[in-house]
Amino acid sequence: MGLVRLDSGKTGFLGPAGTWSEEALLAHTGLTTADAVPLLSVPDVILAVSKGELDQGIVPLENALEGSISVTLDYLAFEVENIFIVREIDHPIRQKLIVKAPLQLGEIEKVISLPHALAQCRRFLRDSLPGVETAAAGSTAEAVKMVSESPEKWAAIGSQLASDIYGCAVLEENIADRPENETRFALLRAEPAAQDLSGSYKTSIVCTIAHDQPGSLLQILQEFSNRYVNLTKIESRPSKKGLGDYVFFIDVEGRQADPPVAAALKCLECKLARVKLLGSYPAG
């Protein structure tokens, strides 16, 4: 089987036009805006790919400042079975304070954005806009669109792309709390990526233990440690079955078919209630 061309086909993203998801998609693939399909939510993107309504989708996985995107992890773990990460994209996030028309900071009455974006800019909001009301939007682009359509003295936190699309102006550049701000995105398809022999790969899994007992997590980790497989991420999330019941999201270096990774996965499948493969894909 040849490699799937990852930058082909209709691709869903969290809309409307101008979100960081769209910017990452256009910046790191061969796609144009004609190939990009805005959807209302991250679950909508995942479900559209799962149902075959779109060829692929891009969703945020984690942010360097605010951590994992829980809705993405939960849908990948619990809501769909035929979805695979086929590529990861690390994209710098340079949040901007955006207004409809030039304003002084002291004139701004409300700041609107995605809750994650507001959280990434806590220090700026505290120091430069103390006491100014904040409000949540479904995406950074939706926030910019709201500001562009309102006569009020509102501002949005979002991307340069959104500012350009909705005819707004950037009042302040790079307002995130830390300049290292970036988001890891996943490109999803309904079939796994073919394994190339060149370049670095990651393999992502979700592990479910049968019941809580001492050493359960250690048993998982030892399968990789004993084979010198490096873990790049491990995180617990509620299993949705009750308080204190968790699943573990794990990213490891290497391909699913690499002998050490394959052996570790096989042993885990014998020990655990469930091991779900989220994908084995080129590393960002």
Quote the number of domains for the chain. Answer: 3
Do 252 and 131 belong to one domain?
A: no
**More confident call, 241 vs 65:** 65
Do 152 and 263 belong to one domain?
A: no
CB atoms within 10 A of CB 241: 10
In this model, does residue 88 exceed pLDDT 80? yes
Do 106 and 72 belong to one domain?
A: no
Domain extent at residue 141: 96-172
Do 81 and 103 belong to one domain?
A: no
Arithmetic mean of pLDDT, 244-248? 82
Q: What is the pLDDT of residue 6?
A: 52
Q: Report residue 2's pLDDT band, with 50, 70 and 90 as the boundaries.
A: very low
Do 125 and 156 belong to one domain?
A: yes
Residue where a domain stops, chosen among 158, 189, 220: 189
| Residue pair 96/158 in contact by the 8 Å Cβ criterion | yes
Q: Residue 147 domain-assigned?
A: yes
Do 120 and 88 belong to one domain?
A: no
Please classify residue 242 by burial: count the beta carbons closer than 10 Å to its beta carbon, then call 0-12 exposed, 13-18 middle and 19+ buried: exposed
User: Residue 32 catalytic?
Assistant: no
In this model, does residue 145 exceed pLDDT 50? yes
Which of 185, 224, 248, 249 is labelled catalytic? 185
User: Residue 185 catalytic?
Assistant: yes
pTM above 0.75, yes or no: yes
Q: Residue 5 domain-assigned?
A: no
Do 215 and 246 belong to one domain?
A: yes
Lowest mean pLDDT among 26-40, 43-57, 143-157: 26-40
- Distance CA(30)–CA(27), nearest Å, equals 8
Lowest mean pLDDT among 44-48, 151-155, 268-272: 268-272
In this model, does residue 257 exceed pLDDT 70? yes
Which of 11, 29, 140, 183 is labelled catalytic? 183
| Residue pair 177/167 in contact by the 8 Å Cβ criterion | no
Please confirm whether the linkage preceding 16 is cis (ω < 30° from 0): yes
Q: Residue 195 domain-assigned?
A: no
In this model, does residue 277 exceed pLDDT 90? yes
